[in-house]
């Protein structure tokens, strides 16, 4: 299985901050990297697909990048509703695997 490692595991930030979360794959996954946001008691919500594609309806303050093994999710200016847990996921091969999550706290 391809191992996905996110850093940091948790992050404290303030409204208006710019934050970046990184995700590293144990082998090359080309651009098959997606990012989800999950709030307590809710299903994950797709933010970014294929490394940098912005899902319909997702605010433009979210952006993604990278290829191969190293990827980033950046939130340009944190809003109160952005405090949540973020997961990366590879869909390059099965089994699809997720990072362990990054909890973004105020």
Partner 1 sequence: QLQLEESGPGLVRPSETLSLNCSVSGDSISSNHWTWMRQPPGKGLEWIGHINYRGSTNYNPSLRSRVTISVDTPKNQFSLKLSSVTAADTAVYYCARAISPWLVQDYWGQGALVTVSS
76 burial class (0-12, 13-18, 19+ CB within 10 angstroms)? middle
Q: What is the footprint of partner 1 within residues 38-77 (CB under 8 A)?
A: 42-46, 49-50, 55
Least Cα distance to 100 among 25, 1, 6, 20 occurs for: 6
What's the min distance (Å) between Cβ of 63 and partner 1? 17
Which residues make Cβ contacts (< 8 Å) with residue 19, sequence separation at least 6? 11, 13, 74, 75, 78, 104
Give the nearer residue to partner 1 in terms of CB position, either 17 or 69. 69
Nearer residue to partner 1 within complex by CB, 14 or 94: 94
Report whether 72 contacts 64 (CB < 8 A). Answer: yes
Rounded to a whole number of angstroms, the minimum distance from the CB of residue 84 to partner 1 is 14
Residue with Cβ nearer partner 1 (8 or 77): 8
| Contact footprint for partner 1 (CB under 8 A) | 1, 32, 34, 36, 42-46, 49-50, 55, 87, 89, 91, 94-101
């Amino acid at each position: 299985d391809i191992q996905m490692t996110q850093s940091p595991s948790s992050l404290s930030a303030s409204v208006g901050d710019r934050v970046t979360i990184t995700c590293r794959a144990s082998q090359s996954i080309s651009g098959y990297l997606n990012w989800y946001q999950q709030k307590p008691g809710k299903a994950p919500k797709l933010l970014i697909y294929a490394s940098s594609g912005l899902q319909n309806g997702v605010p433009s303050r979210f952006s993604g990048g990278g290829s191969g093994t190293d990827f980033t999710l950046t939130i340009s200016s944190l809003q109160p509703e952005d405090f949540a847990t973020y997961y990366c996921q590879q869909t390059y091969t099965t089994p699809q695997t997720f990072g362990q999550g990054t909890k973004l706290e105020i």
